Amino acid sequence: DEAHNIEKVALQYLGVSLNYYRIRRILNRLYSPNEHRYGLFAMLRKWAEEVVKGWPEFADNVPIIEAAVESVQYVRSVTRELFECLYSAVLSEAEDVKNRSDGKLRYDENIIVFSNCAEIIEAFNGAVSSLIQAIDDIKMLVSGISSGRLNDKEEILIDLEKSQVDIQGIINDFDFLIEALGRNVFWFEFVENGNSYSLKVLSAPLDIAEKLAVGLYDHMETVIMTSATLTVARDFTYLRERLGLNLDSRERV
């Protein structure tokens, strides 16, 4: 129903968005340094403190957990520096752009924002890659522990794997946003009198028709769209082209 909103909704899901809070959520899932420490690594650290009392040999593995915690904290620190640098560079660039929307700055592959922050971007990528390796080390450690000693072992391994996938997604999305290539529009959103945490780096496809055809319609036998405003001058051609329905060769009734 309300099929005239498909394009708008699709753009929200087919676009790419990166901000400080997206990264922080993943890090907090692994380890939060707040007063009541929580996260997978915090849980494993607390578990290790107890298990070594009856299994002294396990103490040799505790440094692996501590190294993982340190890796999370380093990524957290570098992420703050990254967004501080990007925010400052975006504000500087925005001052020189005429006719820009308040709080938004379009960009392409020639923008100097990322090159101005090249050093911290390299540090961020290195820190995140090291965190992925640290999670690998934890996964290997957990895999070697019996379920009798570590409750919810399988669930922990699943959560660790998901965290790795999410972190790799950060790397992939950031690379894509920096390259700024293809049939996409790229822009920054920010609060001019705010702080670096307000900064968002975003992209959206210029044409969602092909993406919908390949990513949605090809996986469905039947698509029923209803709305009071699907036609233009009593014709469905515009809708078919905008939503990629004309790219599907299968018969539609």
Is the pLDDT score of 139 beyond 90?
Answer: yes
User: pLDDT-based confidence at 9, cuts 50/70/90?
Assistant: low
pLDDT for res 253: 42
pLDDT for res 66: 98
Is the pLDDT score of 147 beyond 80?
Answer: yes
**The tokens of 117 are what?**
């922050």
Cβ neighbors of 5 (< 8 A, separation 6 or more) are: 227
User: pLDDT-based confidence at 152, cuts 50/70/90?
Assistant: very high
pLDDT for res 120: 98
User: pLDDT-based confidence at 213, cuts 50/70/90?
Assistant: low
User: pLDDT-based confidence at 169, cuts 50/70/90?
Assistant: very high
**The tokens of 137 are what?**
């080390």
Residues in the chain: 253
Q: What is the pLDDT of residues 61-96, one digit of tens each?
A: 999 999 999 999 999 999 999 999 999 999 999 987
pLDDT for res 102: 78
Which CB contacts under 8 angstroms, 24+ apart, belong to 155-161?
Answer: 156/40, 156/43, 156/44, 159/29, 159/40, 160/40, 160/135
Bridge partners of residue 18, in order along the sequence? 201
User: pLDDT-based confidence at 240, cuts 50/70/90?
Assistant: low
Is the pLDDT score of 41 beyond 90?
Answer: yes
CA distance 212 to 36: 44
CA distance 231 to 221: 23
Q: What percent of the chain has pLDDT over 90?
A: 68
95: number of CA atoms within 13 Å, CB side? 6
The whole model's pTM is what?
0.82
